[in-house]
Amino acid sequence: MRARNGRPSLEAKVTHINPARPVVKVRVYSEAFGVVLTVDVSWERYAELRLTVGDTVYVAPRQLRVFVQDYAI
């Protein structure tokens, strides 16, 4: 999303765009939480949003997958 639309969302900056796949992989960084997210965007939505590196966007998950490293205490 380019602007907030009333749904809960996270403000982030676009740091990298990889359009060489069936979906466009967009990497964003949220300064508020210090996290990097990879977002899958359909080609149609990518063309509609006209994203470029440095843009501020608002992300809201539809499907969320979290990968954590195994560690021992």
Which strands, in side-by-side order, build the sheet including 35-41? 35-41, 24-30, 10-18, 56-59
**4 or 59, which is more confident:** 59
Give the residues across from 14 on adjacent strands: 28
Task: Determine the pLDDT at residue 20.
Answer: 84
Cα dihedral across residues 64, 37, 17, 54: positive or negative: positive
Record the pTM: 0.75
For 13-51, write each residue's pLDDT tens digit: 999 999 988 999 999 999 988 989 999 999 999 999 999
Task: Determine the pLDDT at residue 8.
Answer: 75
**Helix, strand or coil for residue 25?**
strand
Q: Which one, of 37, 43, 52, lies nearest residue 20 by Cα?
A: 43
